[in-house]
Structure 1
Amino acid sequence: MKLEIGNFHVKDVCFGTETSFSNGTLIIDKQAAIDYIKEDEHITTCDIEIAKPGESIRIVPVKEAIEPRCRVNADHPLFPGVTGEVHPVGEGRTHALKGCSVLAVGEHWGSFGDGLIDMSGEGAKYSLFSGLINICLVADTDEEFERHEQQKKNRALRWGAHRLAEYLGNAVKELQPDDIEEYELDAITKRSAEVNALPSVVYVLQGQSQMEEDGYNDLVYGWDMNNYLPTLMHPNEIIDGALISGSFMPCSSKWSTYDFQNNPTIKELYKEHGKSVNFLGVIMSNLNVSLEQKERSALYVAQIAKSLGADGAILAEEGYGNPDADFIACFVALEDAGVKTVGVTNECTGRDGQSQPLVALDEKANAIVSCGNVSQLIRLPAMERVIGELEALSRDGLSGGWSGDEILGSSVKEDGSIIMENNAMFCGDQVSGWSPKTMTEF
């Protein structure tokens, strides 16, 4: 499979009379884009705002992030099974608007899996998205059944953001990109002797799939991953729209759709393929509820890796707490199968950093890259402007915010400053490979 991603480097985004791209500037016909989004009758109010790096802007509650893209050589949707019919991805040409993202932002109501982004100041260092130009779809919906639920599916708003990302991406469908990235792997059984002589590596992704009711979990080709079993996937499928993010996960631990599209570990493995490693592909796994399910999935992953002849594995989990049991079970099963494994995860060590870092531990899990402590307290000054609603951080049960604490008070102060746990920083721990944080054992 050969995938070409044609990159258009976005230097500025502004509103105009026609949605187009020229000389590094993405121009958005705001009303036309809003009319397109409001074709979904469940979106009751809708606006689009632009947030740029360095501006005194706080964005909350953020529910999803997507890189604007389009397919060039086929009339297929960007996200099969979500924005259109199911079809294979990972081959052909896709155009991408780099340096920007589409954010789904609640006009009012937040939920457990939502987060916060600061575009400047001390808070900017905690999120990759502070360095991007963010096109914020700020909307409310008629999903009254979950209005006051702490855990929301946020379906209409998340789907609206995916549609907007595709709508904007089509602005460059017929244009010549600034540069083209190529991603191609020979079939595993057709590789040269030189490549086969290198250490063979698989990348194991444990996507969020704990919720037994449909609508909360990550989707693969539009299919809820709670119904999923570990499967070998081509890495091109991952970065070309086969997966989208779910709404259930403390936000710093979540993988947005943008993270799937730009997974840096996959890109690094591609760079090293044929040089230092033989990159076999991605084992897409799941996260389960019962212990039996966790053990079964771990055995599936180990069997696939062993059957492929993997010498090593990189194992990454989305989330913490209950998913730690899946993470360690998979770690142990891989090691027992003779596959040397390195894990990538964040930790939940408490606000004082003294608690056990993972719910489950095993001596065989002896090589783990930490992406930081989800419970770390973060204090940030007020911003000049808020996109969304700041009160959502304290009022609506965001995983790192609270309405009242006997010592710390409310997460949102009267002057607009905030105190929160890292949990609420939007995709802040970046387990997919570009976390700015780590922990060191001395």
Structure 2
Amino acid sequence: MKLELGYFHVEDIVFGSKTFYENGILTINKDEALSIVFEDENIIDADIHIAKSGDPIRITPVKEAVEPRCKVSGGVMFPGVTNKLVPAGQGRTHILKGSCVLGVGKHWGGFQDGLIDMSGPGAKQTMFSQLLNICLVADTNEEFEIHEQQKRNKAIRWASMRLAEYLGNCVKNMEPEELKVIEHHPLSQRSKEEMELPSVVYVLQLQSQMLESGYNALVYGWDANRMLPTFVSPTELLDGAVVSGSFMPSSSKISTYQHVNNPTIMRLLEEHGKTINFLGVILSNLNVQLEEKERSALFVRQLATSLGAQGAIVAEEGYGNPDSDFILVINELEDAGIKVVGITNECTGRDGKSQPLVDLSEKANAIVSTGNVSQYLELGPMEVVIGNLEALARDGNSGGWSESVLPDGSIRMENNGMFCADSSTGDYHKTVVEY
């Protein structure tokens, strides 16, 4: 497949009388943008705020992050979700690089929703503090889940995708400032030199533990809980074939923004033909019952061996129960003679002394850690709060509790509730050290 990514590098975002991009400035017609949001009758109130890196702003509860993009040729955005089901990963996509749409609750949060600080010590916890964020703050009439700890957040998440596509369309007919061309050929069409390099596959374990629909990651709109491990081209993932779910402690979540910007995949593509033969991506899932976990691990092994993989990177979305899926896949691949590097976060307690993963194996001897979900944080007040700070303490945020918010607006929380703070795609610099 051949995918062209056209970059327009956004340096600032302002509101104005029309939506357009010029000389690094994205101007947004707020009324027009909100009309796109209100296409969903479930959204009863909404506004848009801009948050820039270094601003004294705290954002919570954050439900989703989507990069403003549009398809110029060869498909649609978010196939099978907000648009018709067609193949992704080919043609040209234009991108407002450096900007991001954040879906934020005006009142209600939940277990899976996170917090972002745009400045101060908290900004070091998440990559989203480094972006120009277009914050869609909305209320919905989804009364059935307002007081539920686990929320589907469908109306706000879908509105975030529609808003991101609306913004992206302002550069649809423009010539990009930078054009990145990604070609990923079928195995039978690769050169002798490529085939002689070590063959590597990337295994991405998507969060899919909820048996009820509406919570899990989507692959072309299909609930990942209802799929078996599937081989795809990396260009499909980088072009919107996977949409983030709404079930996961927030720090471990892989947002839709991160799926299309997956740094591990981008690096594997850069190394293809130089140091490795990058075979492609195996999308796997995370299950609840042991038999399902074992079946998925077996399918990953069969796919990887059939492709001729000699090495694999296995990335887990989450921790706790999914650790067993993570270790099972590593064991199966190692037993098949495939060398594995795993990427995951850890749950080692506030003192760092607890067992890092629920399940362990001597075969899992090369693990990249993205940080400790239990890291304890004390953060001072911010001048501006976008969303509802009380949601951190009131609504079951995975890193918050009833006394998380102090009277002066300062907070106490665990890293668990920081938005995508230690997800496994390799977006940020966090790790752990032994001392």
Distance in 2 (alpha carbons) for counterparts of 1:101 and 1:35? 19
Distance in 1 (alpha carbons) for counterparts of 2:218 and 2:261? 17
SS state of the match for residue 331, structure 2?
helix
Instruction: Tell me the residue number matched to 2:221.
Output: 222
Counterpart pick for 2:421 among 428, 431, 436 = 428
Instruction: Tell me the residue number matched to 1:246.
Output: 245
Distance in 1 (alpha carbons) for counterparts of 2:72 and 2:209? 35
Instruction: Tell me the residue number matched to 2:203.
Output: 204
SS state of the match for residue 73, structure 2?
coil
Unpaired runs of at least 5, structure 1: 404-409
Unpaired runs of at least 5, structure 2: none
Counterpart pick for 1:416 among 393, 409, 420 = 409
SS state of the match for residue 72, structure 1?
strand
Instruction: Tell me the residue number matched to 1:386.
Output: 385
Given that residues 56 and 119 in structure 1 are in contact (C-alpha distance below 8 angstroms), is that contact kept between their aligned partners in structure 2? yes
Instruction: Tell me the residue number matched to 2:79.
Output: 80
Given that residues 77 and 83 in structure 1 are in contact (C-alpha distance below 8 angstroms), is that contact kept between their aligned partners in structure 2? no
Given that residues 209 and 225 in structure 1 are in contact (C-alpha distance below 8 angstroms), is that contact kept between their aligned partners in structure 2? yes
Instruction: Tell me the residue number matched to 1:320.
Output: 319
Instruction: Tell me the residue number matched to 2:15.
Output: 15
Distance in 2 (alpha carbons) for counterparts of 1:95 and 1:435? 24
Distance in 2 (alpha carbons) for counterparts of 1:220 and 1:376? 32
Given that residues 317 and 423 in structure 2 are in contact (C-alpha distance below 8 angstroms), is that contact kept between their aligned partners in structure 1? no
Given that residues 43 and 138 in structure 2 are in contact (C-alpha distance below 8 angstroms), is that contact kept between their aligned partners in structure 1? yes
Task: Note the alpha carbon deviations across 1:273-311, whole angstroms, 9 max, x for none.
Answer: 000000000000000010000000000001110111101
Distance in 2 (alpha carbons) for counterparts of 1:14 and 1:250? 32
- Give the stretch that moved more between structures: 310-319 or 187-196: 187-196
Q: Which letter maps to 1:160?
A: A
Q: Which letter maps to 1:2?
A: K
Given that residues 376 and 422 in structure 1 are in contact (C-alpha distance below 8 angstroms), is that contact kept between their aligned partners in structure 2? yes
Correspondence 1:35 to 2:35? yes
Distance in 2 (alpha carbons) for counterparts of 1:330 and 1:390? 39
TM-score with structure 2 setting the length: 0.99
Distance in 1 (alpha carbons) for counterparts of 2:302 and 2:221? 26
Distance in 2 (alpha carbons) for counterparts of 1:399 and 1:194? 48
Q: Which letter maps to 1:309?
A: G
Structure 1 residue 353, shift from structure 2 partner: 1.0
Given that residues 347 and 357 in structure 2 are in contact (C-alpha distance below 8 angstroms), is that contact kept between their aligned partners in structure 1? yes
Given that residues 259 and 432 in structure 1 are in contact (C-alpha distance below 8 angstroms), is that contact kept between their aligned partners in structure 2? yes
Structure 1 residue 110, shift from structure 2 partner: 0.2
Structure 1 residue 439, shift from structure 2 partner: 1.8
Structure 1 residue 80, shift from structure 2 partner: 0.6
Structure 1 residue 441, shift from structure 2 partner: 3.6
Instruction: Tell me the residue number matched to 1:406.
Output: none
Distance in 1 (alpha carbons) for counterparts of 2:427 and 2:35? 36
Distance in 1 (alpha carbons) for counterparts of 2:24 and 2:414? 37
Distance in 2 (alpha carbons) for counterparts of 1:35 and 1:306? 50
Q: Which letter maps to 2:28?
A: I
Structure 1 residue 434, shift from structure 2 partner: 2.3
Task: Note the alpha carbon deviations across 1:373-429, whole angstroms, 9 max, x for none.
Answer: 1001011100000000000000000000000xxxxxx11000000010000010000
Distance in 2 (alpha carbons) for counterparts of 1:246 and 1:286? 12
Structure 1 residue 185, shift from structure 2 partner: 1.5
Q: CA RMSD in A?
A: 0.8
Correspondence 1:48 to 2:24? no
Distance in 1 (alpha carbons) for counterparts of 2:66 and 2:154? 15
Distance in 1 (alpha carbons) for counterparts of 2:242 and 2:393? 31
Instruction: Tell me the residue number matched to 2:148.
Output: 149
Distance in 2 (alpha carbons) for counterparts of 1:317 and 1:97? 28
Given that residues 126 and 436 in structure 1 are in contact (C-alpha distance below 8 angstroms), is that contact kept between their aligned partners in structure 2? no
Structure 1 residue 81, shift from structure 2 partner: 1.1
How many residues get paired?
435
Given that residues 251 and 425 in structure 1 are in contact (C-alpha distance below 8 angstroms), is that contact kept between their aligned partners in structure 2? yes
